[in-house]
Structure 1
Amino acid sequence: MASQLLLLALLAASSSIASASDPSSLQDFCVADKASVLVNGRVCKDPKLVEANDFFFSGLHLAGNTSNAVGSRVTPIGVAQIGGLNALGITAARIDFAPWGLNPPHTHPRATEILTVLEGSLKVGFVTSNTENRLITKVLQKGDVFVFPVGLVHFQQNVGNGNAVALVALSSQNPGVITIANAVFGSNPDIPADILAKAFQVDTNAIYSLQSKF
Structure 2
Amino acid sequence: MENVIPKILGMIVGFGIAYLIFKWNRKNKQSKIYYIIAGLFLVGALYMPFAKTVSPEQEAIESSKAESSSIKESERKESISIEEDAKSSSLSEKKDSSIEAKQSSTKSSESSSKKIPREYISALIKGQEYADRMYMSKKAIYDQLTSDYGEKFSPEAATYAINNIKANWNKNALQKAKDYQEEQNMSPDAIYDQLTSDSGEQFTPEEANYAVQHLDK
Pick the structure with more strand per residue.
1
Structure 1 length-normalised TM = 0.22
Looking at both structures, which has the greater relative contact order when contacts are Cα pairs under 8 Å and sequence separation is at least 6? 1
Q: TM-score, normalised by structure 2?
A: 0.21
Higher CA-based Rg? 2
